[in-house]
Structure 1
Amino acid sequence: MFIQPWDAALDEAEWRSWIADGHDFGLLSVNGLPGHAPTTVPTHFVPDGDRLLIHLARPNPVWESIEYDPNVTFTVIGDYAFVPGPWRAKPDIPPTDGVPTSYYAAVQFVCQARIVDDPEAKAELLRQQLAHFQPDGDHAHVAPDQPPYGRMLPGIRGLVLDVTEVRAKFKYDDHKPVEHRATVADSLTARGEALDAPTARQQRRRLDRIGPWKP
């Protein structure tokens, strides 16, 4: 992922806060076997310090590739929107000469993958996932020898991704003048389609922290 200086995370806390703010679904990318394309799997995950916790169905074809090469990348993308050219045109050129772009936030985790097959270890992984996704505790206890999860545990494998590198990108035109960024954020809010509102919030948040871009 190419990251311009003005698109980089301002600090580690920025991307960690963004992940914690409900961005817990992403794309697992695994190096393919020789002669095969890489395998990708969309899935929920739970951040746990410097690792990510995942479980997938045992028949998933990804396992053979992970066993062959445990070096994987997990990508989370959100708060994205298409920004049309007229919104980005400089005052001294025709609006139709403006160049469109995409705004988005993305965090890529480079990881070493560890497969979890021990029944109790899988149960603990599921307990951590349920604590994240169902914090009210409205679910049965997860244990290898108790229903309903006990009989289903053999059908899944756990996956622990030990994070070795993080690449975080917040692409919101932060190198543009303050007035330009504020106007685009207002335009996104007024358009109000898809993820326009959260995209505008990200742009305004970055604007408040950065102010005028200083190389």
Structure 2
Amino acid sequence: MYVPQHFDEPRTDVLHDLIAKHPFGMLVTHGEAGLDANHLPFELDPAGGKHGILHCHVARNNPVWQDLGNGDEVLVVFRAGDAYVSPQWYPSKHEFHKQVPTWNYIVAHAHGRVTIRDDERYVRGVVARLTRAHEASQPIPWKMTDAPKDYTDMMLKAIVGIEIQITKLVGKAKLSQNKEIRDIQGAGTALVAKGERLIGEAMLAAAAAKAE
């Protein structure tokens, strides 16, 4: 990923937070069958090694787990949000007319090495933790024990676990930081007004940081 210095987000804790809040990632692989991409929910263990460990599972019928070998390099892309930015929102455009449209976004790329975990205990643990995390906001959270044991056991046999030891984290927050403060603020305010709060508020925070 191309990351100009003014868009670089190198802080591990910030990137871990992004992954935790936006855990639906794209697993990019290059196995024996060639390039592939799978969209999966991930669990992050931030304490696992220098950069953390990612856990997920795929359907047993998905060929990706057989196409990969333990130790193969993979990439997982996490996206916090994105938004189109009109040049009309930059105050300087109306003075000098030297602005163009752009697209702002916040992403994290987790590079790592994969281990296929085709064992029931691992898969059960991953599913249980993902369920607890994502059911927590429900009025009555669903639990694995809500389903009959034989049904749950059958479903678990139909999936395979994938563990990824993160070897490198690359973060990019493209928020018009290379623009004038007033232009960052103008576009950020316009995005918030349109309901694009995540990128809009991030731009306003970037403007405030640049003003310090």
Report the TM-score when normalising by structure 1: 0.84
Q: Deviations over 1:131-170 (max 9, x none)?
A: 222237531249xx93331121211000111100000000
Higher helix share: 2
Deviations 1:160-200 (A, max 9, x none): 111000000000011212111111111112233xxx22110
Give the aligned residue type for 1:134.
E
Name the CA distance, whole Å, in 2 between partners of 1:74 and 1:81. Answer: 21
Moved over 6 A (4+): none
**2:10 and 2:170 in contact (8 A); partners too:** no
Identity percentage over the alignment? 20
CA distance in structure 2 between the partners assigned to 1:122 and 1:56 by the alignment = 10
Q: Compared with structure 1, are the counterparts of its residues 208 and 16 closer, same or farther at alpha carbon in structure 2 (3 Å cutoff)?
A: farther
Asked if the contact 1:30/1:65 (under 8 Å) is kept, the reply is no
1:181 aligns with 2:184: yes
Partner-residue secondary structure (3-state), 2:200: helix
- Unpaired segments of 5 or more residues in structure 2? 47-51
Q: Give the superposition deviation at 1:100.
A: 1.0
Map of 1:135-150 to 2, 5 A cutoff? 135=136, 137-141=141-145, 146-150=149-153
Q: Residue 102 in 1 paired to residue 103 in 2?
A: yes
Deviates more, 1:133-142 or 1:75-84: 133-142
- Offset at 1:14? 2.2
Partner Cα separation in structure 2 for residue 122 and residue 12 of structure 1: 27
Q: Which residue of 2 is the match for residue 19 of structure 1?
A: 19
Q: Structure 2 length as normaliser, TM-score?
A: 0.85
For residue 54 of structure 1, report the CA deviation from its aligned partner.
0.6
Matches within 5 A, 1:51-62: 51-62=53-64
Which residue matches 1:30? 29
Map of 1:46 onto structure 2 = 43
Distance 1:197 1:60 in 2: 36
Letter in 2 for 1:106: V
Structure 2: distance between partners of 1:43 and 1:147: 25
Q: 2:83 aligns with which of 81, 84, 90?
A: 81
Question: In the alignment, what sits opposite 2:49?
Answer: none
Residue number in structure 2 paired with 1:157: 160
Aligned length: 203
**Equivalent residue letter for 2:28:** S
Per the alignment, residue 67 of structure 2 pairs with 65
- Aligned pairs (5 A) from 1:114-133: 114-133=115-134
Task: Give the alignment's Cα RMSD to 1 decimal.
Answer: 2.4
Q: In the aligned structure 1, how far is the partner of 2:75 from the partner of 2:10?
A: 22
In 2, Cα distance between the equivalents of 1:120 and 1:17? 27
Deviates more, 1:167-176 or 1:117-126: 117-126
Superimposed CA distance per residue, residues 92-124 of structure 1 (whole angstroms, 9 cap, x where no aligned partner): 423xx5211110000000011111111122212
Quickly say closer, same or farther: Cα 1:17–1:206, change in 2 above 3 A: farther
